[in-house]
Amino acid sequence: MADNLKNIRKFQSDVEQCMKCGFCGYFCPIYREERQEKGLARGKDQLIRYTLEGEQDLTKGFYQAIDNCLLCKTCVQYCPAKTRIDHAVTAARGDYVAEKGLPLSKSFVFRYILPNRWLFGVALRIASWFQFLLPRGEGRFRHLPQFLSALGAGRAVPAIARKFLRKTLPERTPAPAEPKYRVGFFSGCATEYVFPEIGHMMVDVLRNLDCEVVFDKRQGCCGAPVYFSGDFRTGKKMAEKNVNAFEDYDYVVTGCATCSSGLSEYPVYLAETPEEKERFEDFSAKVKDFNEFVIDVLATAPDRFELNSRFKGKTVTWHDPCHLGRYQGITTQPREILKSLDGLNFVEMPNADRCCGLGGSFSITHYDVSKRIAGHKVEGITASGADAVVTACPGCMIQLRDALSRHEKAVEVLHIGQLFTVRESPT
């Protein structure tokens, strides 16, 4: 069994840290909906222990159990022993996929579509030609018909952008004065293909804060959806592509919480030698979330922020993406920005850090549970009385818009980069 469990063994200490107290059951979003032990962190940990002890094989049922996880780290946040079940689950997926492989559909997308930026764009452009057939929702969102049950029947999906970000954003955006830093802008898939306007807005902010911004076209998908699903081999190829693309920049800045988290975790899951680990760690140290970079690195003064006029007098609340808060510890920085915007009213929603239920492909493969989890998020947003909910993850934006649409709530969903500009430096 040793040869096919190399990833689990790498994190064996995390597996053995669980005290089996079951305290995670009160907080796990999935367990609160399904009430099944295998959906709980403790249950998954026990299955992985059985595998290490030779009592459990890497069966389809085993994978289904460990796949039924959002990797939201809520259990880690509240675990008395701080057991990193996210490490154990991701490693177990890696060992299963190395031995059994992924379903054909996932394997094809992960190995041939996502790593190839041109082919990914072509596939999305072809898909966009047929979006007019879908029933129209609010704004740019349309509703999937019931027969598309594999993608979530009735799900509201965003329209593919008419022009992708790499077609409209210059490769180099110079700073107005002597640049403080040379920044590589990492767009992420959703910003590049669905929300290019958000990419433009963030680059404009970084430029006005005296950074030279380069949208390096060699970049690809961050790889998080791939290696978190267990395909470490393809994930590593994608990681190497991004590390090569951004070697010569002072920082790598992204407005996607999943991307900044995914890029930062290359050394955790994908490094196989000490040399690879060191190289991935050097790269990860340069990766910064947009909010973190603006507040912590650039130390932007509050009077530099200027609210976009269309949001004047609006009340907004903030949703903490799991990959921003629990994975990266970034919670105060976006709130600092929102509170500094003159003319905007910021209110906290109840349970702002509660998972929205997206979890990448989880919301497709487990849409019914994902919907119920998102429903609790809608309750918190509604209770805040806000006109709009703001976040820093395009994936969360899509999930929240779908949930608010299903509950017929007229609440706008925004990326924080849409809310403000920054006045150019007086120098």
- Residue 150 has what pLDDT? 47
Q: Which of 51-65, 243-257, 324-338 has the lowest mean pLDDT?
A: 51-65
Q: Which residues neighbour 268 within 8 Å (Cβ) at sequence distance 6 or greater?
A: 87
State pTM to two decimals: 0.92
Instruction: For residues 125 and 122, give the distance between their C-alpha atoms in angstroms, rounded to a whole number.
Output: 5
Q: Which of 139-143, 220-224, 251-255 has the lowest mean pLDDT?
A: 139-143
Closest CA to 188 of 360, 48, 8, 342: 360
- Residue 147 has what pLDDT? 41
| CATH architecture group of domain 301-422 | 3-Layer(aba) Sandwich (3.40)
Task: Please give the average per-residue pLDDT across 168-176, as a whole number.
Answer: 96
pLDDT digits (tens, 9 = 90+) for 8-31: 999 999 999 999 999 999 999 999
Instruction: For residues 319 and 223, give the distance between their C-alpha atoms in angstroms, rounded to a whole number.
Output: 24
Task: Please give the average per-residue pLDDT across 386-415, as a whole number.
Answer: 94
* Cα angle value 107/113/119 (rounded, 5°): 160
- Residue 149 has what pLDDT? 45
Whether pLDDT at 155 is above 60: yes
Class of domain 2-100: mainly alpha
- 8 Å CB contact between 169 and 207: no
pLDDT digits (tens, 9 = 90+) for 66-88: 999 999 999 999 999 999 999 99
Q: Which of 12-26, 148-162, 221-235, 269-283 has the lowest mean pLDDT?
A: 148-162
Confidence category of residue 388, pLDDT binned at 50, 70, 90: very high
- Residue 139 has what pLDDT? 59
Burial annotation 163-202 (CB, 10 A radius, 16+ → b, else e): ebbbeebeeebebeeebebebbbbbbbbbbbbbbebbbbb
Whether pLDDT at 424 is above 90: no
Q: Which of 103-107, 184-188, 213-217, 367-371 has the lowest mean pLDDT?
A: 103-107
Task: Please give the average per-residue pLDDT across 100-120, as a whole number.
Answer: 87
| Averaged pLDDT of the chain | 91
- Residue 148 has what pLDDT? 43
Instruction: For residues 259 and 226, give the distance between their C-alpha atoms in angstroms, rounded to a whole number.
Output: 12
Percent above pLDDT 90 for the chain: 77
**Bridge-based pairing state of the strands 172-173 and 181-186:** unpaired
Task: Please give the average per-residue pLDDT across 341-364, as a whole number.
Answer: 93
